[in-house]
Chain A
Amino acid sequence: KQEVTQIPAALSVPEGENLVLNCSFTDSAIYNLQWFRQDPGKGLTSLLLIQSSQREQTSGRLNASLDKSSGRSTLYIAASQPGDSATYLCAALPWGGSEKLVFGKGTKLTVNP
């Protein structure tokens, strides 16, 4: 059974800092790993999708990496801004059966001006 863990649960940084959010998963048999952003009480916004054959994906100030052998993914945010404050969730899509995403509990990020 796939399990996804995100550490830390919360992170507070000053504006301008580069930061890394961590995601680990127990089973390397995945189609892909997806990173989402969630603002309070809102739905999920897809940030980056990394297919199992890829090592990383980049979008603007965001870079996500995937290491299936170690069961880890990281989301790197460069030059953080107060508008980046949100909860960041990672989700793995396991092989087999339905396209059921398995989520971590998220990391709540606060960027202080």
Chain B
Amino acid sequence: ETGVTQSPTHLIKTRGQQVTLRCSSQSGHNTVSWYQQALGQGPQFIFQYYREEENGRGNFPPRFSGLQFPNYSSELNVNALELDDSALYLCASSPGGGTIGGEAFFGQGTRLTVV
């Protein structure tokens, strides 16, 4: 069991609403990445935070935004929810920085359903 914790585990929202997902990284890890996994697909990279700064972004619109806090926990915010945003959202933490290529550890995910 990893030390990466995500909340909530499940969420149902209405189209047009906004949602905030949370992630606590593994102890000693300063890099947090967010992924979206649609049913039957592999996870797709949304963005990454390293020491509170965005450090890379995938092909997602600006209504997907994030934050990383001084304790390296992170939030993913999605505005103006669309039906296609329904997916499993995964958070991963890794050592980052000078230890690029370190093992990534994932949380249990948040299942978001947009109706």
Which positions in A face B, CB cutoff 8 Å? 4, 31-32, 34, 36, 41-46, 49, 51-52, 89, 91, 93, 97-106
Contact indicator B41/A51 (Cβ below 8 Å): no
Contact B111 A41 (CB under 8 A): yes
Q: Is residue B73 within 8 Å, beta carbon to beta carbon, of the partner chain?
A: no
Which of chain B's residues have a CB closer than 8 A to the CB of A43? 4, 6, 90, 106-109
Among residues of B, the one whose C-beta sits closest to the C-beta of A104 is B42
Complex CA–CA separation, A108 to B105 (angstroms) = 21
Is there an interface contact between B94 and A99, defined as CB atoms closer than 8 Å? yes
Residue B28 CB within 8 A of the other chain: no
Known: A98-B55, A99-B31, A100-B56. A36 touches B101 (CB 8 A): no
- In the complex, are the beta carbons of B101 and A51 less than 8 A apart? yes
Contact A101 B101 (CB under 8 A): no
Contact B56 A105 (CB under 8 A): no
Interface size on B, residues (CB 8 A): 32
The verdict on A44 contacting B33 (CB below 8 Å), with A104-B42, A105-B42 known, is: no
Q: Chain B residues with Cβ under 8 A from A46's Cβ?
A: 2, 103-106
Per-position contact with A for B17-53: 1 when CB-CB < 8 Å, else 0?
0000000000000010101000011111100101000
Q: In the assembled complex, how far is the CB of residue A81 from the closest CB belonging to chain B, in whole angstroms?
A: 20
Bound Cα distance from A110 to B95, whole angstroms: 33
A42 with B108, Cβ < 8 A, contacts A49-B103, A101-B33 known: yes
What are 30 inter-chain pairs, A to B, with CB distance below 8 A?
Answer: A31-B100, A31-B101, A36-B106, A41-B88, A42-B108, A43-B4, A43-B90, A43-B107, A44-B106, A45-B2, A45-B106, A46-B2, A46-B103, A46-B106, A49-B103, A91-B43, A93-B101, A97-B56, A98-B33, A98-B50, A98-B56, A99-B48, A99-B96, A100-B33, A100-B45, A101-B33, A101-B35, A101-B92, A103-B43, A105-B40
